[in-house]
């Protein structure tokens, strides 16, 4: 299926993540546990020499030069060059009646490591990452022995150097695989694939396909769908192809399509959240407007005769989920709202007065703050059928006052809390830019702004 939400990590974003990852790997390699080495070899005209290397202590392992590369259709590749390590330990040797022991220092230089990372997703839609290949090559190993018999060390120097080279090359890749499995994999899985927003709705951020590596970026397609917590049902409209603009100068891009935003209206409508009741006590005193039959008698004259100057209650509801459009100036919607008016009788019971179907013009602005999509609504003009022009103007004035004084503050307070972006743990965004684009046939064309 097409994603409703896309995340693009560019080379700049990968470089930053790579810096953090290599720092972790460097610490892991510095704690390598190396086994003791023992063996023997026969020297012509001399005899058999037995040796033992023990108490190996890796003092440091440095990764000064490394880079991460995108491998199209495969994943990521990390290349490390000119790495070096230092370690020390004890040695013991036996040749007939000659016995000697001491300590040694070992320097490993020109270490080259190449790591291939395979990206995928599991059945729950969470991302996965694993080591698909690893190779290590050590160009230079220098061993410095301390002891009395210099000629004796030279006899087993080559054997020790060879054994160390092979052990380190094997251990490095074991550590890489372990670090990816124990550090990187749990971290990428902190990406929330389901985000609970409030008591009514959540967002499904599960991956619709494994991440795709291109020559310039890593693209991740997410479902990007709001849903009702009480009753999740299929969205009655499909997500259209979503492509991001060809920009790559920032670390990360988030693409939220109109599908993503419109599933929010569908989810809240299904949850019964788009029903609002307004009474006169909810209207601020400084508005200069009262919810009474006197006010509404301007376009329903009979009200003043039947219920003179009595308090009213208005129930606003949407017969269907509002549909939002993305345009050059931002977001807009024309919701159809049923306005059911009641008069509050002396015994506190309600008597229905009239039902109007009103079409409103609402604009919205969005931004990103503290890892959340935030926004606000602004009320425009309204229209209603079966009313004369003067009645429509009066209704528009009344609806605007009702909306601006009661409904919009309620909605905007909720929008100010925002909806979480799909971010792994400990990620904070900065230098944020919000743009609007028109998508046609899977390609993006900027609005002529």
Q: Report the Cα 9 to chain-centroid distance in Å.
A: 10
Q: CA angle at residue 208 from 204 to 211, to 5 degrees?
A: 115
Closest CA to 235 of 260, 201, 217: 260
Q: What are the backbone dihedrals phi and psi of residue 82, each rounded to the nearest 5 degrees, phi first? A: 55, 30
Enter the tokens of residue 103.
């300590």
Enter the tokens of residue 425.
């743990």
- pLDDT exceeds cutoff 90 at 62: yes
Domain topology for 11-189 = Bactericidal permeability-increasing protein; domain 1 (3.15.10)
- At 373, which helix (H) or strand (E)? strand 372-384
Q: How confident is the model at residue 446 (pLDDT cuts 50, 70, 90)?
A: very low
Q: How confident is the model at residue 448 (pLDDT cuts 50, 70, 90)?
A: very low
Closest CA to 112 of 80, 69, 68: 80
**Percentage of the chain exceeding pLDDT 90:** 35
Q: Which residue has the tokens 């299904």?
A: 270
Q: What pLDDT score was predicted for residue 144?
A: 83
- pLDDT exceeds cutoff 70 at 58: yes
Every domain of the chain with CATH number 3.15.20.10 lies at: 194-420
Which neighbouring-strand residues pair with 81? 65
Domain topology for 194-420 = Bactericidal permeability-increasing protein; domain 2 (3.15.20)
Closest CA to 97 of 163, 23, 145, 47: 47
Find the mean pLDDT for residues 141-154.
72
Three-state DSSP class for residue 264: helix
Q: What pLDDT score was predicted for residue 379?
A: 75
Between 152 and 326, the more confident residue is 326
Q: What are the backbone dihedrals phi and psi of residue 118, each rounded to the nearest 5 degrees, phi first? A: -100, 130
Strand 194-196 versus strand 201-204 pairing type: antiparallel
- Measured between alpha carbons, how far is 440 from 241 in angstroms, rounded to an integer? 8
Find the mean pLDDT for residues 231-254.
86
pLDDT tens readout for residues 251-278: 999 999 889 999 999 998 888 888 888 8
Q: What pLDDT score was predicted for residue 33?
A: 87
- Measured between alpha carbons, how far is 173 from 166 in angstroms, rounded to an integer? 11
- pLDDT exceeds cutoff 60 at 66: yes
In 297-371, DSSP assigns E strands to 312-317, 324-327, 330-333, 336-344, 350-369
- Measured between alpha carbons, how far is 314 from 139 in angstroms, rounded to an integer? 81
Enter the tokens of residue 180.
């990816």
Cα-based torsion angle of the residue sequence 350, 353, 356, 360 in order, rounded to the nearest 10 degrees: -60
Q: How confident is the model at residue 445 (pLDDT cuts 50, 70, 90)?
A: very low
User: Which DSSP category does 320 fall into?
Assistant: S
Q: What pLDDT score was predicted for residue 396?
A: 67
Q: Residues 347, 352, 357, 358: is their CA dihedral positive or negative?
A: negative
- Measured between alpha carbons, how far is 152 from 145 in angstroms, rounded to an integer? 10
Enter the tokens of residue 132.
């698909």
Q: What pLDDT score was predicted for residue 439?
A: 64
- Measured between alpha carbons, how far is 314 from 304 in angstroms, rounded to an integer? 17
pLDDT tens readout for residues 152-174: 666 667 777 888 888 888 899 99
- Measured between alpha carbons, how far is 191 from 122 in angstroms, rounded to an integer? 13
- Measured between alpha carbons, how far is 335 from 380 in angstroms, rounded to an integer? 11
Q: How confident is the model at residue 393 (pLDDT cuts 50, 70, 90)?
A: low
Every domain of the chain with CATH number 3.15.10.10 lies at: 11-189
Cα-based torsion angle of the residue sequence 315, 318, 319, 320 in order, rounded to the nearest 10 degrees: -170
Instruction: Give residues with Cβ within 8 angstroms of 325, minimum separation 6.
Output: 258, 331, 332, 333
Q: What are the backbone dihedrals phi and psi of residue 39, each rounded to the nearest 5 degrees, phi first? A: 175, -175
Closest CA to 382 of 368, 395, 401: 395
Q: How confident is the model at residue 70 (pLDDT cuts 50, 70, 90)?
A: very high
Three-state DSSP class for residue 406: helix
Enter the tokens of residue 304.
């003043």
Q: What pLDDT score was predicted for residue 260?
A: 93
Q: What pLDDT score was predicted for residue 46?
A: 67
Asked if 277 and 314 touch (Cβ cutoff 8 Å), the reply is: yes
Q: Report the Cα 255 to chain-centroid distance in Å.
A: 11
Asked if 165 and 141 touch (Cβ cutoff 8 Å), the reply is: yes
Greatest CA separation found in the chain?
129
Out of 134-138, 224-228, 301-305, which region has the weakest mean confidence (pLDDT)? Answer: 301-305
């Amino acid at each position: 299926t097409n994603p409703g939400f896309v995340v693009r990590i560019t080379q700049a974003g990968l470089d930053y993540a790579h810096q953090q990852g290599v720092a972790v790997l460097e610490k892991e390699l510095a704690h390598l546990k190396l086994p003791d080495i023992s063996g023997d070899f026969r020297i012509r005209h001399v005899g058999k020499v037995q040796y033992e290397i023990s108490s190996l202590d890796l003092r440091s392992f440095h990764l000064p030069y490394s880079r991460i590369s995108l491998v199209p259709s495969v994943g990521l590749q990390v290349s490390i060059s000119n790495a070096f390590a230092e370690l020390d330990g004890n040695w013991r040797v036996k040749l007939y009646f000659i016995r000697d022991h001491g300590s040694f220092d070992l320097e490993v230089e020109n270490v080259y490591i190449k790591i291939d990372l395979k990206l995928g997703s599991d059945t729950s839609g969470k991302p996965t990452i694993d080591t698909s290949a690893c190779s290590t090559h050590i160009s230079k190993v220098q061993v410095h022995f301390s002891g009395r018999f210099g000629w004796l060390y030279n006899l087993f120097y080559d054997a020790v150097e060879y054994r160390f080279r092979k052990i380190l090359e094997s251990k490095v890749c074991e550590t890489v695989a372990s670090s990816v499995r124990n550090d990187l994999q749990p971290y990428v899985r902190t990406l929330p694939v389901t985000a609970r927003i409030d008591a009514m709705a959540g967002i499904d951020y599960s991956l619709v396909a494994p991440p795709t590596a291109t020559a310039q970026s890593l693209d991740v397609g997410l479902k990007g769908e709001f849903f009702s917590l009480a009753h999740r049902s299929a969205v009655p409209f499909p997500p259209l192809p979503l492509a991001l603009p060809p920009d790559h100068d920032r670390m990360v891009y988030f693409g939220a399509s109109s599908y993503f935003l419109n599933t929010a209206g569908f989810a809240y409508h299904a949850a019964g959240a788009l029903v609002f009741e307004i009474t006169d006590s909810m209207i601020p005193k400084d508005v200069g407007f009262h919810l009474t039959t006197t006010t509404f008698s301007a376009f329903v004259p009979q009200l003043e005769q039947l219920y003179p100057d009595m308090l009213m209650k208005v129930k606003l509801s949407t017969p269907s989920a509002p549909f939002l459009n993305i345009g050059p100036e931002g977001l807009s919607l024309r919701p159809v709202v049923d306005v059911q008016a009641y008069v509050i009788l002396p015994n506190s019971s309600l008597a229905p007065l009239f039902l109007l179907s009103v079409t409103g013009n609402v604009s919205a602005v969005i931004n990103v703050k503290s890892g959340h999509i935030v926004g606000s609504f602004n009320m425009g003009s309204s229209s209603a059928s079966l009313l004369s022009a003067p009645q429509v103007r009066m209704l528009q004035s009344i609806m605007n006052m009702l909306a601006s004084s009661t409904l919009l503050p309620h909605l905007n307070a909720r929008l100010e809390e925002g909806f979480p972006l799909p971010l792994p743990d400990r990620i904070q965004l900065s230098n944020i830019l919000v743009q609007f684009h028109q998508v046609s046939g899977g390609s993006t064309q900027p609005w002529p702004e």
